[in-house]
Amino acid sequence: MISSANMIVGAWMRRGYCAAMAIAGSALAIVSAEPAAGQTWPSKTVRIIVPFAAGSATDLVPRAVFEQVQLQTGQTFIVENRAGGGTTTGTAAVAKADPDGYTILVHSNGLVTTPAIQANVPYDPVKDFAAIIPLGSVPMVLVISPDKNIKTLKELVDYAKAKPGSLNYAAAGIGTPPHLAMERFRVAAGFTGQVVPFKGAPEALTEVIAGRVDVYFSPLPPAMALIESGKLLPLAIGNSARTAALPKVPTTVEAGFPDSAFDFWIGMFVPKQTPRLVVAQIHGQVVKAMQSETNKSRYAKLGVETMIMAPEAFDARVAQEVKIAVELAKAVGLNK
């Protein structure tokens, strides 16, 4: 099974499938003036549904972007956290929303992996959503409490192999990229363990700091301050390349575990029947915001890299990743 999993995820990586600023809280709302003359979107309040807890990377990144979009458009944008159901609660709400561009989903590539792992998911990533743009690629870092006295990735693997099945690891939702990153690494390193699911990164990180959970493959944005303060020790980067935010931390591959990389992206979606003109207008406003100097500075602090794609290209990417996700789930024994 290890060989099969490595081959499938390796194919994912070879085909180029990559997988936050302290604007935390449950909502972001800035009320301003009327939209510019001739602008058709937005002309009223826009809701951004995030199916993760506040403070997670998939929550922090859109807050950074949409603060800038609000300044550009003079409209109100509300970020609403709807965690639950392994991310399906908030996602399904957007799938059923009016296709007018005023209810937007921000999700990770967990949008494609969750249906491959969970049974009876009430939406289809391709049939029910139109992709707008990836908001960025987010580094994932494997963190542990310094109190565990494990300093390197090799020491962690040696510990896990010495006590098979005893290592436990957090996951912000079953089937999400942080979960699959850990499964990918676990299979490549050849050890067993126990997954402990949480609603979001903040809760998972708290449990790792307390020592009740051994490790967590965390998106970098919510973990960065905890690493800098010494509350967490970074063992490795899960992505295929190091991050400038933690230049001394090796990737899992560099640490001696081939075929262990897994990249993580965050993207925007709307209900499938949303008019293409509206999709194009949303895309244009978001690209403008992402390219602003203010947002570039925010992304640099978070360690997030931009991934600007046209809606049609992002749609095609999502469709291809859905097929690969099913194969990956079967390979690591997570299929529904």
Strand partners, 143: 216, 234
Return the sign of the alpha-carbon dihedral for residues 89, 226, 25, 208.
positive
Mean pLDDT within 225-229: 96
Mean pLDDT within 204-225: 96
Cβ-Cβ contacts under 8 Å for 328 (sequence gap 6 or more): 5, 8, 9, 12, 113, 116, 180
Q: Is 276 helix (H, G, I), strand (E, B) or coil?
A: helix
Which CATH number among 3.40.190.10, 3.40.50.970, 3.30.70.20, 3.20.20.70 corresponds to the domain 140-237? 3.40.190.10
pLDDT bin (cut points 50, 70, 90) of residue 330 is confident
Q: Which amino acid is at 65?
A: V
Q: What is the pTM of this model?
A: 0.76
pLDDT tens digits for 238-283?
998 999 889 999 999 999 999 898 888 999 999 999 999 999 999 9
Q: What percent of the chain has pLDDT over 70?
A: 88
Residue 21 region by backbone torsions, left for phi larger than 0, else alpha for psi between -120 and 50, else beta: left
Residue 59 has pLDDT above 70, yes or no: yes
d(CA 178, CA 173): 8
Mean pLDDT within 17-39: 39
The single residue listed with the structure tokens 């912000």 is 172
Both tokens of residue 151? 């300093």
Residue 284 has pLDDT above 80, yes or no: yes
Q: Which amino acid is at 88?
A: T
Confidence (pLDDT) at 265: 93
pLDDT tens digits for 114-136?
888 888 899 999 999 999 999 99
Contact criterion met (CB below 8 Å) for 106 and 87? no
Confidence (pLDDT) at 336: 59
The CATH number that domain 2-137+265-331 falls under is 3.40.190.150
What backbone torsions phi and psi does residue 246 show, to the nearest 5 degrees? -135, 70
Both tokens of residue 18? 């990559």
C-alpha distance across the termini of the chain, in Å: 17
Confidence (pLDDT) at 173: 77
Look over the chain and give the mean of its residue pLDDT values, rounded to a whole number: 87
Contact criterion met (CB below 8 Å) for 144 and 232? yes
Confidence (pLDDT) at 160: 97
What backbone torsions phi and psi does residue 140 show, to the nearest 5 degrees? -115, 135
pLDDT tens digits for 141-195?
999 999 999 999 999 999 999 999 999 999 987 778 888 889 889 989 999 999 9
CATH 3.40.190.10 region(s) of the chain?
140-237
Residue 56 region by backbone torsions, left for phi larger than 0, else alpha for psi between -120 and 50, else beta: beta
Contact criterion met (CB below 8 Å) for 245 and 136? no
CATH 3.40.190.150 region(s) of the chain?
2-137+265-331
Both tokens of residue 177? 């990229």
Q: Which amino acid is at 197?
A: P
Both tokens of residue 56? 């997670």
pLDDT bin (cut points 50, 70, 90) of residue 32 is very low
